[in-house]
Amino acid sequence: MGETTTIKTQDGEFSAYVARPGNPKAPAVVVIQEIFGVNAVMRGVCDELAAAGFLAVCPDLFWRIEPGVDITDQSEAEWKKAFELYNAFDVDAGVADIATTIDHVRALPECSGKVGAVGYCLGGLLAFLTATRTDSDASAAYYGVGIEKHLAEVEKLAHPLLIHIAEEDQFVPKEAQALILAQLKNHPQVQIHTYAGRDHAFARVGGEHYDAADAKLANGRTLAFFQQNLA
């Protein structure tokens, strides 16, 4: 069962969902939210990582706008609210909060010292920036929106990065995908997997574009990636 903890920053404090593995000391993964806040889907990701032997922590990155956002993708009103939050969100402050979360988690006695990150949608972009701007030991990005605008930052990449791209992603145009692939496919620290026929959020359980087979494939790759790089 998960629990909630509080993480302090220079600007204030925010909550984070924590799921603990059975082992007393474990590598950790920071789970980076979509535009729906720390909701049941994100808590489920944490719980699955904990079941696989990782200490999983999902920080509330919307806390500067509205603490405690927990909505779904199931109604028009929730989508409207999600995009309002997305448009008000400060990406740089979000990455700083992720860096603070990584430091917090790494200092926990139950953490092995290795900390990775995985993000989805908005969190996919943030996972990419976490890879380039923080000391995350390994980062995984699912269908990140806007990565192509930050490709110059890849020169700062010091640790492994895994990217999942949905080939029919309505929020990541083909031109953006081509830029990402052209610039990153031969980078020694980067692994990229593309998923033919898949739309945005194909790994979001219960979502409109959820695909069980490719979600299982992508999640298996992510798990193997963390097992290799956070050991």
Q: Which domains does the chain have, with CATH numbers?
A: 3-229 (3.40.50.1820)
The catalytic residue positions are: 169, 200
Let me know if 13 is exposed, middle or buried by CB neighbors in 10 A (0-12, 13-18, 19+).
exposed
Please tell me the distance from the alpha carbon of residue 65 to that of residue 212, in angstroms, as a whole number.
33
Q: What b-and-e string marks burial along 129-167, b requiring 16 or more CB atoms within 10 Å of the CB? A: bbbbbbebbbbbbbbbbbbbeebeebeebebbbbbbbbe
Complete DSSP assignment for 149-193: GGGGGGGG--S-EEEEEETT-TTS-HHHHHHHHHHHTT-TTEEEE
Residues of the chain with pLDDT under 70: 1
Question: Residue 226's pLDDT is what?
Answer: 98
The CA distance from 226 to 208, in Å, is: 27
Other CB atoms closer than 10 Å to residue 41's CB: what's the count?
20
pLDDT at residue number 1: 65
Question: What amino acid occupies position 146?
Answer: G
Q: Tens digit of pLDDT for each residue in 50-102?
A: 999 999 999 999 999 999 999 999 999 999 999 999 999 999 999 999 999 99
Packing angle between helix 91-106 and helix 122-133, nearest 10 degrees?
A: 60
* pLDDT value at residue 112: 98
Q: What is the pLDDT of residue 153?
A: 96
